[in-house]
């Protein structure tokens, strides 16, 4: 026993007026009845709230009591058989309507158990008027590789508050990553807890569409299992990634999605490969125009594209806001590997200025008139690519520094879950994109066309080339 007890805390000052609270004597039967009513009400509430567990248990118990264990075993076995047949016969519907709802119930209990501690340590609880209020779990849904937890935020919170705490939440719940997506109402946020990794494996090349849909070119697989379809109409595309991040695979995925259009004559690919043709050279027959060694030739090509964009813009002005590609007037796509060689590392000042000026025209005027740029670059800094802002569509592959993520995908994107700097070197072709109408970045893995696939594709859809330009 300690000799002296030290009790921490604030002593209540003696008030000038002290009152004694009145004591009301209740009969014991009233107190007992009240406690019993409260306990029964609590029991009924729990029973109704957890109906998905209590109802089957009640039915099975009733079955056992009325008909004995044989009938019970028959029913349980029958249900198990139906579930197994369903799972094998039509797996997607079994997962969607059978397994995932059950899993969601179990996971909801798991999340609830850690919820309060998670919210407090992630500083997502709000202390107000001597009370602590925490966000509330509204719903849990399970999907292939992730759980979606819909959360009602505390008044004054915004989805970005959750996005900023996403890494802490991921570690707390033991998942790979957490993304915070605005919910269906302004008061809710959906936390997407990524469990497995649907993008672990290399994605094989997709079938080539006969006529490309320029508003939805299939080029990658999203982490939720859907195909990522990129819009080309009305945009210019910039692919940014460190060396070995798989920029080549993004280029070839886009080219593959357009190859049917090349064969049909409604798409013209112009290839610019300042690294001497190392990347684009294998698919040479797919390119209507090609330059790989001479920088003056590359400047000429970009100037030709700029002139085309200006001519079309002048002709279409006031008539339409989106050019429709035809055989007479095909969609032109300038495919440029390592753009920095043309905009930053080129030593000839005059040539560099010509390229910058022409590229500026193509980027600004070409979007609506069917003259597009798909360019890859390693370094996203403004000094290297001053025209970065003129590319509305950007794909961020593996990057070397966290600061580069927001440069590529836009302000706050790293906080919202675009961890480009954390993509492992063993996952080339993986990156983040921003989907239309969704402020949360999506992780995708691009299809991988090896050299033989590119050669076959070039033979099948390209024009045999005599002398390479
Ligand atoms: N989508 C992909 N899926 C699987 N593996 C890939 C993918 N893309 C690339 N790779 C592998 O990663 C390696 C590096 O890819 P690649 O050369 O395209 O990267 P890069 O970003 O273009 O590099 P660099 O800047 O050095 O040209 C390739 O040799 C290939 O084996």
| Per-residue confidence in pLDDT tens, the chain, 469 aa | 667 776 666 666 677 787 777 788 889 999 999 999 999 999 999 999 889 889 999 999 999 999 989 989 999 999 999 999 999 999 889 999 999 999 999 999 999 999 999 999 999 998 877 788 899 999 999 987 889 999 999 988 999 899 889 889 999 999 988 888 889 999 999 999 988 788 888 999 999 988 999 999 999 999 877 899 999 998 999 999 999 999 999 999 999 999 999 999 999 999 999 888 788 999 999 999 999 888 889 999 999 999 999 998 888 776 766 778 888 889 999 999 988 888 877 778 888 889 999 999 999 999 889 999 999 999 888 777 878 889 999 999 999 999 999 999 988 888 888 889 999 999 999 999 988 767 778 999 999 999 999 999 999 998 766 544 3
Question: What pLDDT is attached to residue 469?
Answer: 39
Q: Which fold has domain 217-461?
A: Rossmann fold (3.40.50)
DSSP, res 156: T
Domain ranges of the chain: 114-194, 217-461
Rounded Cα distance between 69 and 71, Å, is 6
For residue 278, which atom of ligand 1 is closest to its CA?
A: 27
Beta strand segments in 3-55, E: none
Which of 343, 428, 331 is CA-nearest to residue 380?
A: 343
Report how far ligand 1's centroid is from the alpha carbon of 249 (Å).
6
Contacts of 438 (CB under 8 A, 6+ apart): 181
Does 343 contact ligand 1 (Cβ within 6 A)? Answer: no
412 is in an annotated binding site: no
Which of 446, 440, 374, 430 is CA-nearest to residue 409?
A: 440
Report how far ligand 1's centroid is from the alpha carbon of 247 (Å).
6
Rounded Cα distance between 358 and 51, Å, is 67
Question: What pLDDT is attached to residue 3?
Answer: 76
Query: Is-contact 206 218, C-beta < 8 A?
Result: yes
* Backbone phi and psi for residue 127, each to the nearest 5 degrees, phi listed first: -100, 125
Rounded Cα distance between 183 and 288, Å, is 46
Does 253 contact ligand 1 (Cβ within 6 A)? Answer: no
Question: What pLDDT is attached to residue 468?
Answer: 41
Question: What pLDDT is attached to residue 259?
Answer: 94
Does 367 contact ligand 1 (Cβ within 6 A)? Answer: no
Q: Counting Cβ atoms within 10 Å, is residue 413 exposed (0-12), middle (13-18) or buried (19+)?
A: buried
DSSP, res 96: I
Look at the block and give the residue holding tokens 């009938």: 71
Q: How many Å from the N-terminal Cα to the C-terminal Cα in the chain?
A: 95
Report how far ligand 1's centroid is from the alpha carbon of 223 (Å).
19
Does 246 contact ligand 1 (Cβ within 6 A)? Answer: yes
Measure Cα distances from 327 to 140, 289, 306, 365 in Å: 51, 16, 20, 21
Q: Is 132 helix (H, G, I), strand (E, B) or coil?
A: strand
Q: Is 231 helix (H, G, I), strand (E, B) or coil?
A: coil
467 is in an annotated binding site: no
Query: Is-contact 313 369, C-beta < 8 A?
Result: yes
Question: What pLDDT is attached to residue 440?
Answer: 78
Q: Which fold has domain 114-194?
A: 3.30.980
For ligand 1, atom 29, the nearest C-alpha belongs to 244
Measure Cα distances from 175 to 170, 270, 396, 414, 440 in Å: 5, 44, 23, 18, 18
Q: How far is Cα of residue 403 from the mean position of the Cα atoms in its chain?
A: 19
241 is in an annotated binding site: yes
Q: Using a cut of 0.80, tell me whether the model's pTM lies above it.
A: no
For residue 429, which atom of ligand 1 is closest to its CA?
A: 1
352 is in an annotated binding site: no
């Amino acid at each position: 026993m300690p000799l002296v007890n030290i009790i921490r805390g604030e002593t209540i000052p003696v008030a000038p007026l002290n009152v004694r609270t009145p004591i009301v004597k209740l009969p014991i039967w009233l107190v007992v009845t009240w406690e019993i009513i409260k306990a029964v009400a609590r029991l009924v509430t729990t029973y109704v709230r957890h109906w998905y567990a209590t109802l089957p248990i009640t039915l099975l118990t009733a079955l056992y009591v009325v008909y004995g264990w044989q009938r019970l075993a028959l029913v349980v076995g029958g249900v198990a058989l139906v579930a197994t047949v369903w799972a094998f016969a039509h797996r997607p519907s079994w997962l969607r309507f059978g397994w995932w709802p059950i899993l969601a119930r179990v996971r909801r209990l798991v999340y609830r158990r850690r919820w309060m501690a998670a919210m407090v340590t992630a500083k997502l609880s709000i202390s107000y008027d001597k009370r602590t209020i925490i966000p509330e779990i509204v719903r849990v849904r399970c999907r292939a590789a992730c759980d979606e937890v819909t959360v009602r935020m505390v008044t004054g919170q915004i989805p970005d508050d959750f996005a900023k705490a996403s890494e802490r939440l991921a570690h707390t719940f033991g998942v790979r990553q957490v993304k915070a997506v605005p919910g269906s109402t302004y008061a809710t946020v959906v936390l997407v807890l990524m469990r497995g990794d649907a993008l672990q494996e290399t994605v094989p090349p997709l079938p080539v569409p006969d006529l490309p849909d320029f508003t939805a070119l299939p080029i990658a697989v999203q982490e939720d299992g859907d195909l990522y379809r990129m819009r080309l109409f009305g945009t210019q595309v910039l692919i940014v990634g460190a060396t070995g991040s798989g920029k080549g695979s993004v280029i070839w995925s886009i080219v593959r999605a357009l190859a049917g259009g090349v064969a049909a004559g409604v798409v013209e690919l112009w290839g610019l490969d300042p690294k001497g043709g190392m990347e684009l050279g294998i698919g040479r027959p797919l390119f209507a125009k090609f330059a790989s060694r001479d920088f003056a030739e590359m400047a000429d090509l970009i100037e030709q594209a700029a002139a085309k964009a200006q001519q079309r813009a002048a002709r279409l002005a006031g008539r339409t806001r989106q050019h429709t590609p035809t055989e007479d007037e095909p969609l032109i796509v300038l495919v440029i590997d390592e753009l920095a060689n043309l905009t930053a590392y080129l030593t000839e000042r005059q040539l560099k200025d010509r390229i910058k000026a022409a590229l500026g025209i193509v980027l600004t005027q070409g979007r609506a008139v069917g003259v597009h740029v798909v360019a890859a670059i390693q370094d996203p800094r403004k000094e290297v690519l001053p025209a970065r802002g003129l590319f509305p569509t950007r794909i961020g592959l593996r990057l070397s520094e966290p600061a580069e993520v927001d440069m590529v995908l836009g302000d706050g994107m790293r906080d919202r879950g675009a961890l480009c700097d954390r993509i492992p070197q063993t996952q080339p072709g993986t990156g983040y994109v921003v989907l239309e109408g969704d402020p949360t970045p999506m992780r995708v893995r691009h299809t991988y066309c090896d050299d033989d696939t590119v050669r076959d594709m070039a033979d099948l859809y390209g024009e045999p080339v005599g002398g390479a330009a």
